[in-house]
Amino acid sequence: MEMRDRIASALKEAMKSKEAERLSTLRLVNAAIKDREIALRGTGEGATVGDAEILGILGRMVKQRQESARAYEEGGRLELAEKELAEIKVIEEFLPRQLTADEVAAAISEVMAEIGAASIRDMGRVMAELKVRHTGQMDFSAVGPMVKARLS
């Protein structure tokens, strides 16, 4: 089942079961996807967003909410932090399982071996291939320094 279909069916279920918080989060997800489609229309690219792009959108949404929750906790606004964390749980239902540190290291080694990466110049190719294979499964802001360290 396509990501868009999974999200739409989850939205319908949330409406039927009157889960207000879940419904609100799923509507935010739909809005983010539609915003991206509108942005693509202006560039002349295809007007539809694929599953890989939806995974990227969901990943960014989770990261934004994690940062917001952290800021709310530091500011003593625990009820808002809890709301952000609840939204993260709903969004993560649609993301693939996150890879463990060992699995990330193995994926990096595998891609470096296949590409034949030997120097820092190959970092872009390694990162691009990792993004193709593992979108939504790893935090690329953390993986970048790991790849850089191996290639240095």
pLDDT at 44: 66
Measured CA to CA in angstroms, residue 89 lies from 26, 82, 144 at distances of 11, 11, 26
Do 59 and 112 lie in one domain? The reply is: no
pLDDT of residue 80: 94
List, run by run, the mean pLDDT of 10-residue segments along the chain (152 residues): 87 94 94 89 73 86 93 94 94 86 89 87 89 81 87 82
Domain count, the chain: 2
Task: Determine the Cα–Cα distance for residues 34 and 114; give it in Å rounded to an integer.
Answer: 36
- Are 126 and 147 within one domain? yes
3-class DSSP state for residue 101? helix
Statement to judge: residues 23 and 73 lie in one domain: yes
CATH number at residue 43: 1.10.1510.10
Q: Are residues 60 and 123 in the same domain?
A: no
d(CA 80, CA 93): 21
Could you tell me if 107 and 75 lie in one domain? no
Q: What is the pLDDT at residue 133? A: 85
SS3 state of residue 77 = coil
What was the pLDDT predicted at 10? 93
pLDDT at 117: 83
Distance CA 59, CA 2 (A): 17
Domain that holds residue 118: 101-151
Q: Which of 132, 88, 85 is nearest to 107 (CA)?
A: 132
